[in-house]
Amino acid sequence: MENHLSLFATSPKGIELLLTEELKDIGAMDIKMTRAGVSFSGTLNTAYKACLWLRTANRVLLPISTFEAKDEAELYDGVYRINWADHLHKEGSLAVDFNSSNSGISHSQYGALKVKDAIVDQFRNSFGCRPSVNIKTPDVRINVYILHNQATVSIDLSGDSLHRRGYRKSGVEAPLKENLAAAILLRANWRDIAKSGGGLIDPMCGSGTIPIEAAMIAANSAPGLLRDYFGFLGWKGHQPETWEKLIEEAEQAEIEGMENLPFIAGYDANAKSIANARISGELAGFITKVHFEKREFATCLPHPKMKGKPGLFVVNPPYGFRLGEQAELKHLYSNIGLQLIEHFPNWHATIFTGNAELGKNIGIRAYKKYALYNGAIACTLLNFQIQDKWFVKNKHSKPLTLNKRKPKKLENSEINMFSNRIHKNLKKLKSWLSSNNIQCFRVYDKDIPEFAVSIDIYGSFAHVQEYKAPDTIDPKVAQDRINLVVSALPGILNIPRSNVHFKVRQKQQGRNQYQKKESKGEYHQVEENNCRYLVNFTDYLDTGLFLDHRPIRQFILENSAGKSFLNLFSYTGTATVCAAKGLAKSTVSVDFSKRYNTWAKQNLALNGFSDSKHQFFQDNCVEWIKNHKRRYDLIFLDPPTFSNSKTKQMVFDIQKDHVSLITNTVQLLNPKGLLVFSNNFRKFRIDSESLSNLTIEDITPQTIPLDFKRNPRIHYCWKIRKKSQPTEKSTLR
């Protein structure tokens, strides 16, 4: 009868319970979770199975001796007493791994050296020769662990960490070790999902670890099948026949498992990562079974080959440890939740993150959480069901619910007139808003002289700007009217008072136009044309989204596919988001404000786009244009009316400087490129004579949306091309 061996499998912290279940599956006995792993017993066949089949383990150890080792002398003597000729050929090679905890010997290299010396001295004294040292692939790897001065010496049957499956290209770094990726998938119940025919999508797959591990689990492929080195192969106790039989059985199981493999896809915005993933997939034997593709997160949707059947969405997003990353990643996590809710109904989802706070932005309640470690980083595994009952309600700004009843008559005749005008405007816009799915619009713009305010609706919020009353109006009368607006507007619009934000708008001079009004840092999400934007109602005069530019943004969205796009004076990057959403091949955004560049990046992240093909420059646009050499297919130029820069010691005036600005910008166009030039200076006149070498088409009327028709000078807009190009019919509306 074959001898039973006492064995020990090490694992990453937090995975011990999964390892226990795996050991049960291979027939191990006397299983017990202990410090840093799981102890068990079984035959040599069991030990081989552990090396071949355990997905979550690091190493499989065969303890051969325990003894007290308070110091280096006791360590040397204890190791020397072991008969090493039973394990290692005298001409063989060895390596020693040494670790200790709460013991007299604390230096790992010194401890390993004493162990090696004891073994080498025994062979030299017994045979007159000694084995050599081979750090990478020794015939026998010896593991020594000392806890509270009690030493355990083991033969490392795995020889190398079992997470190294053999499919990783040399030199390629991976964000997850293979056994951690396997643990994530097992915790996500992937094996049962795959058996039921559900597929898998990893939208940020990096070098492909999760999709490949998913394929191995679904195909019942032994994780050790690709390895060409184990620690027992040069060990004197090795039984080749037993091992070869297990290999044959594993190969047959994989052949059978491949027949019903579900569709598995790995996407990433980084081309190099996808190239590495494909190489790993080929080495793993799944090149035709796992689909890898360069794709932005925003475009990661269920694949047609999944035939509409729910599967598993699994992602390991960035954790955001570097300064300044938190705010941007908050919106990336929010976008993950929105993407799941909109495009993956009834799917299972698993998100592995080293930042539990960021996970709260997903907007879906996890039904299960697990504590795991990615190296030394404490992480959380969140399991979700994409069903309505788990969604966090009212997380994002919702469209204004228009009151179907007639407006309530107010006591004050003036405010009653104001209320009636707002409801009249809402009624006029209602059909247009509904048919175009518009949530952000202007509902009132100084329509009644007594109430000189503009009111913009952003979902369920109102942004009110008071235009400073002229000197001919008694300040007290003006203030009383504003007080009436403040008190009455929540009831008129049927929204909470906290959702109404007031500002005084007056002519801005110098750098005042860029200064903060407050520093609350509160941002809200709004939608337009299937794009999401962050708006701020308190900190700046403007919210971050120019509503009158809605048709221009729509034009960019519809005309960016496959084009290189340049956004000058890019502000919060809303036009860049449209270009990215419109599948531009690349975008470049330039703005002098660090805050606005950060805001723009957050808007991109909110829509699921990375920085891989979207560049940002914090620079003075006028100077940047002069020094830049790259050419673009589509450029959006929307400069301020006036700007000065203390750091650059220059002043910009749109009327005086627009000729040189346009001339220099056109130099950045490809031969068939298009410049869309816009500004909001009410008295602006374009100098067509000085720009006679260009084809200039005034498209202002087409770019003024219905909610701004009462104010046709809200902005001006032109299409500009190099001459000799055919003029295309405008699609702006």
User: Which tens digit of pLDDT belongs to each residue from 294-348?
Assistant: 999 998 999 999 988 999 999 999 887 554 567 678 888 988 999 999 999 999 9
Contact 669, 722 (CB under 8 A): yes
Residue 389, both tokens: 């009952």
Q: Give the helix/strand (H/E) hosting 602.
A: helix 594-606
Same fold, 413-506 and 524-722: no
| Confidence at 411, pLDDT banded by 50, 70, 90 | low
The whole-number pLDDT of residue 384 equals 97
The whole-number pLDDT of residue 409 equals 55
Residue 31, both tokens: 């299983």
Q: In sequence order, what E strands does 536-686 have?
A: 564-568, 586-591, 614-618, 632-637, 642-645, 650-653, 669-679
- In 3-state terms the chain splits into helix, strand, coil percentages (rounded to 5) of 35, 25, 40
- List helix spans (H) across 26-168: 44-53, 72-80, 108-127
- Fold of the CATH domain 5-156: VC0802-like (3.30.2130)
Contact 90, 128 (CB under 8 A): no
Which residues are bridge partners to 62 per DSSP? 155
Look at the alpha carbons of 587, 589, 595, 596 in this order and tell me if their dihedral is positive or negative: negative
The whole-number pLDDT of residue 733 equals 44
Quick check: 730 pLDDT over 50? Answer: no
The whole-number pLDDT of residue 510 equals 42
Q: In sequence order, what E strands does 569-622 have?
A: 586-591, 614-618
The alpha carbon of residue 609 and the mean position of all alpha carbons in its chain are separated, in whole angstroms, by 8
CA separation for the pair 103, 589 (Å, rounded): 58
CA separation for the pair 18, 372 (Å, rounded): 11
The whole-number pLDDT of residue 511 equals 40
CA separation for the pair 654, 114 (Å, rounded): 78
Residue 380 has, within 13 A of its CA and on its CB side, a CA count of: 14
Contact 18, 187 (CB under 8 A): yes
CATH of domain 524-722: 3.40.50.150
Contact 490, 501 (CB under 8 A): no
| Residues 120-146: b if buried by 16+ CB within 10 A, e if exposed | bebbeeeeeebbeeeeebbbbbbbbbb
The whole-number pLDDT of residue 512 equals 45
Neighbours of 651 (CB within 10 A): 12
Residue 438 has, within 13 A of its CA and on its CB side, a CA count of: 22
pLDDT digits (tens, 9 = 90+) for 126-179: 999 999 999 999 999 999 999 999 999 999 999 999 999 999 877 666 779 999
Instruction: Mention every residue, 6+ apart, whose C-beta is less than 8 A from residue 565.
Output: 556, 576, 579, 584, 586, 587, 588, 632, 633, 634, 635, 636
Considering only CA atoms, which of 53, 9, 55, 58 is closest in space to residue 33?
9
- List helix spans (H) across 461-567: 475-493, 550-558
- Fold of the CATH domain 178-225+260-390: Rossmann fold (3.40.50)
CA separation for the pair 264, 211 (Å, rounded): 6
Torsion from C-alpha of 389, 390, 393, 395, nearest 10 degrees:
-160
> What backbone phi and psi angles, to 5 degrees, belong to 478?
-60, -45
Neighbours of 3 (CB within 10 A): 6
The whole-number pLDDT of residue 405 equals 45
Q: Which of 65-79, 228-242, 515-529 has the lowest mean pLDDT?
A: 515-529
Contact 58, 11 (CB under 8 A): yes
Instruction: Quote the DSSP letter at residue 642.
Output: E
CA separation for the pair 294, 581 (Å, rounded): 16
| Residues 27-42: b if buried by 16+ CB within 10 A, e if exposed | ebeebeeeebbbbbbb
Instruction: Mention every residue, 6+ apart, whose C-beta is less than 8 A from residue 405.
Output: none
CA separation for the pair 160, 138 (Å, rounded): 10
pLDDT digits (tens, 9 = 90+) for 454-504: 999 999 999 999 887 767 778 787 788 888 888 899 999 989 999 999 888
Q: Is 640 exposed, middle or buried (0-12, 13-18, 19+ CB in 10 A)?
A: middle
Helices 209-218 + 271-284 axis angle, to 10: 30
CA separation for the pair 208, 183 (Å, rounded): 15
pLDDT digits (tens, 9 = 90+) for 648-678: 556 889 999 999 999 999 999 999 999 999 9
What is the radius of gyration, based on Cα positions, of the chain?
A: 34
| 200-202/312-315 β-pairing | parallel
Between 357 and 201, where is the model more confident?
201
Quick check: 105 pLDDT over 70? Answer: yes
The whole-number pLDDT of residue 329 equals 83
Quick check: 509 pLDDT over 50? Answer: no
CA separation for the pair 122, 138 (Å, rounded): 18
CATH superfamily of 413-506: RNA methyltransferase domain (HRMD) like (3.30.750.80)
Instruction: Mention every residue, 6+ apart, whose C-beta is less than 8 A from residue 288.
Output: none
Residue bearing tokens 């093909």:
613
Residue bearing tokens 């929540």:
490
CA separation for the pair 678, 700 (Å, rounded): 9
Give percent above pLDDT 90 in the chain.
Answer: 77
pLDDT digits (tens, 9 = 90+) for 362-400: 999 999 999 999 988 999 999 999 999 999 875 455 666
Give percent above pLDDT 70 in the chain.
Answer: 91
For the chain, give every domain's residue range: 5-156, 178-225+260-390, 413-506, 524-722
Sheet (strand 614-618) strand order: 614-618, 586-591, 564-568, 632-637, 669-679, 716-722, 694-698
